[in-house]
Chains A and B, each alone.
Chain A
Amino acid sequence: MKQEVYKTIVQPKEETVKYLTGWRRPTYAYVLFETKEWHLLGDGERRLGTGLMTLNAESRPEISHHVDLYLQKGFKILDYGNFPKFSDQSPSRAAKARHYSQGSGINPWDALEKFVRGKMASEIGWDEQKAQYEGELNVLKKKLAEEQKKLEIKQAIQKKD
């Protein structure tokens, strides 16, 4: 059976796609990183490549310093999810968010989400961006073809004269 590639919020590198094949979203709150790591091969050779790392944010929303630590190491945030919300469909998850807010009305996972999205900002929505660039490229190609056609007609007239 062919396993599906998990679709992340941020585009992964080509090598990482194989690790995302069959990857299942955890049931707990998580932040998924694409790691930059050395793969040790036989005879002590090594190759710089990528890997995956899941940071568990369940029961611990104040882990932004860990996120920072991994970003400093050259890791990239690919995805995040399952953060408990006040409006969660699951009553126990909503209760958890309320419990961790300690009556302040501020869900600590919202702060983590804001932090994580801020770190992903430059790469978020890569597929929309790709589609936009491709659209712009097509328009330019069309314009170029039109201009070339005009030029050919002009050159043909000049030749006749």
Chain B
Amino acid sequence: MAVSNITELGNSVNVTDVLAAGISPALVKANCMMALMYTEGLPQGTMTAKLTKRGVLTAASLAEATALAPDANGELTDSSVSATIAKCAVVSGVSVEQGQFGNITADRLATEHGASIARFVDNDALSLFSGLSTSVTSASILTIDDVMLGQFNIFNSECPNKEVPLKAVLSHRGHYNIKKEIIQSGASVWSNESYLEVLGGTPQVNCYVGSLLGSIDFYATSGHATSSSDTVQAIFHPMWTFAGFFAPAPVTWVKEKGAEGFYTEYATYFFYDVLEFNDLCGVKLLSDT
């Protein structure tokens, strides 16, 4: 039973809602894809830009004293893919009360706007995986062999710059399953520590999680598209599979509003487009979601 007339905490006027030192960042994904594609700035004076894909000629043997007229083998035809710049935006309103007494500053809002736009663009780029015309569908979970099968097809398609390690952008589950396979395989190659980067270490801010034998760089992130019960991941060449046109930075407008409700409007926009450049330089990897 409580004792009466004791001077308790509630008897005094106390400070409430003190902010502790610890501030947790939002639990959201990091940007992965923008650094894994061919990029250019925005086109000038138009919203559409064409990326050229060079055509090839075919030589043929020719017998002595034989004429050779120009034919289809000698007709050089380039092709192209078009990017149409789009706008991605986010708008926030901050009340004058929040501005006066709160702690959400303009800098903080601008940072959050930038981060939300980066995630949007990243997810847009990840969605391009679904459009690749070559796929490996895992029997259930992703395996190293599935990834290497994708690598084989990219090499087999004669994607240029083979000296550049291919990038495998996986879901976290895909990454986990690769690590699990290495642990469970017992193959002697995995007893060599230099081959175990993908298993050990910690993920980097750009989602890089390690390399497989120096030839495939692995990235793990979220936001992949799904197809039926599979997650659509991909292995691709970072120079020739996808392309992006990006403005140098998002632009933020700050506007004070009175009659509309006494708040400050922060509006941020960003111009960009991401698209597929060369279909045969990437392979989508479908494995259990």
Task: Give me the interface of A with B, judged by CB distance under 8 Å.
Answer: 19-23, 35-40, 42, 44, 46, 51-56, 59-60, 62-63, 65-66, 69-70, 73-75
In the complex, what residues of A have CB within 8 A of residue B48's CB?
A: 65
**CB <8 Å contact, B133 and A60:** no
Which secondary structure dominates where chain A touches chain B?
Answer: mixed
- Contact of B227 (CB < 8 Å), options: A46, A54, A55, A69: A54
- Are the C-beta atoms of B227 and A51 separated by less than 8 Å? yes
Q: Which of A35, A46, A62 contacts B131 (CB 8 A)?
A: A35
Contact yes or no, A19 B130, CB < 8 A = no
Tell whether B275 is near chain A: CB-to-CB under 8 Å: yes
A22 to B229, CA, bound (A): 8
Chain A residues lying within 8 Å of B279, measured Cβ to Cβ, are: 73
User: Which residue of B82, B120, B124, B132 contacts A65 across the interface (Cβ within 8 Å)?
Assistant: B82
Q: Are A37 and B135 in contact (CB under 8 A)?
A: yes
Check A36–B133 contact: CB distance below 8 A: yes
Bound form: Cα–Cα A16–B118 in Å: 34
Contact assessment for B275 and A44 in the assembled complex, using a CB-CB cutoff below 8 Å: no
User: Size class of B's contact patch?
Assistant: 20 to 34
**When A and B form their complex, what is the total count of cross-chain residue pairs whose Cβ atoms lie within 8 Å?**
80
Footprint of A on B, CB under 8 Å?
Answer: 48, 81-84, 86, 88, 120, 124, 127, 130-137, 145, 149-150, 152-153, 156, 225, 227-229, 275-276, 279, 283
Q: Are A39 and B275 in contact (CB under 8 A)?
A: no
State whether A38 touches B84 (Cβ < 8 A): no
Q: Are B276 and A65 in contact (CB under 8 A)?
A: no
Given A39-B135, A53-B130, 6 further pairs, Cβ under 8 A: A35-B133, A44-B152, A52-B130, A60-B86, A69-B81, A69-B82
In the docked arrangement, what's the CA distance between A39 and B153, Å?
Answer: 11
Other-chain residue from B82, B133, B135, B228 in contact with A23 (beta carbon distance below 8 A): B228
Closest to B285 in A: A40
